[in-house]
């Protein structure tokens, strides 16, 4: 057993000693060149590839594109006006259970700002006093800042708004439908 330990110790000591010196000088690397051309991706020449592409057809005239845009705008307008409601924004002045307070708030707003027409809505169990019809929130901000001086709790809310000019076919007045 003792011989085995001696042999292992000699082998380990011999393995630790290196045969040559690892110290190198900068002059050892003067002639070093590394060729990576075999591993780099190859890309085709851009100019020669562009020259080989077929010629593009002549662009459409701006008038033709304008006509297409007008047609798309007309279709969008017809689709939008055929719907009785649109999603928009209103300014909520009052929301509460007290009916008398809702009417009082409406009167106060009409006195403070006569050019504004507030509407009262009843959504069970609360009364809402709302102002305006806006497609975008930013449109309502100017009026909101004016109203906040009188009603500091006013805020902008999303609402489903009926179009002013829209009437359902069942809403038209005809003599036969009246009782």
Query: Has residue 170 got a pLDDT over 80?
Result: no
What pLDDT, in 10s, does the model give residues 93-129? Answer: 999 999 999 999 999 999 999 999 999 999 999 999 9
Decide if 20 is inside a domain.
no
Decide if 43 is inside a domain.
no
Q: Is the distance from CB of 152 to CB of 92 less than 8 angstroms? A: no
Residue 179's Cβ-count burial label (10 Å; 0-12, 13-18, 19+) is: exposed
Task: Please give the model's pTM, rounded to 2 decimal places.
Answer: 0.53
Cis, peptide link before residue 90, omega less than 30° from 0:
no
Total domain count for the chain? 1
Residue whose token pair is 């829209």: 166
Q: How far is CA 170 from the centre of its chain?
A: 39
Decide if 12 is inside a domain.
no
The pLDDT assigned to 110 comes to 94
Domain that holds residue 126: 87-160
Decide if 128 is inside a domain.
yes
Tell me the pLDDT band of 179, cut-offs 50, 70 and 90: very low
The pLDDT assigned to 165 comes to 66
Please give the Cα distance from 177 to 179 (Å, whole number): 7
Decide if 6 is inside a domain.
no
Decide if 14 is inside a domain.
no
What pLDDT, in 10s, does the model give residues 60-102? Answer: 777 878 889 999 999 998 887 788 888 999 999 999 999 999 9
* 103: CATH: 3.30.70.1070
Decide if 93 is inside a domain.
yes
Token representation of residue 110: 């009409």
Decide if 98 is inside a domain.
yes
């Amino acid at each position: 057993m003792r011989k085995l330990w001696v042999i292992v110790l000699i082998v380990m000591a011999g393995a630790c000693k290196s045969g040559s010196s690892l110290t190198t000088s900068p002059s050892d690397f003067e002639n070093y060149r590394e060729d990576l051309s075999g591993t780099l991706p190859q890309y085709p020449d851009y100019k020669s590839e562009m020259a080989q592409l077929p010629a593009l057809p002549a662009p459409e005239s701006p008038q033709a594109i304008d006509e297409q845009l007008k047609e798309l705008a007309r279709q969008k307008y017809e689709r939008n006006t055929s719907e009785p409601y649109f999603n928009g924004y209103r300014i909520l002045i009052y929301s509460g259970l007290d009916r008398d307070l809702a009417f009082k708030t409406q009167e106060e707003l009409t006195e403070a700002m006569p050019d504004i027409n507030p509407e009262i809505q009843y959504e069970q169990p609360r009364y809402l006093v709302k102002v305006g019809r806006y497609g975008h929130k930013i449109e309502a901000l100017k009026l909101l800042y004016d109203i906040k001086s009188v009603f500091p709790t006013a805020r902008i809310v999303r609402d489903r708004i009926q179009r002013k000019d829209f009437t359902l076919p069942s809403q038209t007045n005809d003599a036969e439908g009246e009782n």
